[in-house]
Amino acid sequence: MSRTGVLVRFYHLGASEALPKVGEVAPLEIDLPTSPSFAPRFLQCMAEVVRVVAVESDHLAVAFELRRVRVEERHKKESCDTGAISQMATEPGRVH
């Protein structure tokens, strides 16, 4: 993971699993390391697929460019609806 992108590896893919294609936008959730000073948190991201590579015969790597990122507390995730991600998609240029 870097400031502007993330590489995700998918292992043991089933035939029914559809991976995103280059140019598609996908929501990502990335767990942040735990800390005694903070409640459990994660990054909620909107990301564009920039590359899909077959690393080995049993897994693929997908490179995402991060578009919108916001830090959320883990306990809020259970109570929020999908409106948070669609709201992120409609707020151009906003980064948290």
**Cβ within 8 Å of residue 28, ≥6 positions away:** 6, 8, 43, 44, 45, 46, 47, 64, 66
**What is the residue whose two structure tokens read 């948290």?**
96
**Cβ within 8 Å of residue 93, ≥6 positions away:** none
Domain residue limits, the chain: 5-12+22-77
The residue-averaged pLDDT of 19-45 equals: 88
Residue 15: pLDDT band with limits 50, 70, 90: low
pTM (predicted TM-score): 0.65
The residue-averaged pLDDT of 72-76 equals: 77
> Is the pLDDT assigned to residue 70 strictly greater than 80?
yes
Strand 25-31 to 59-73 pairing: unpaired
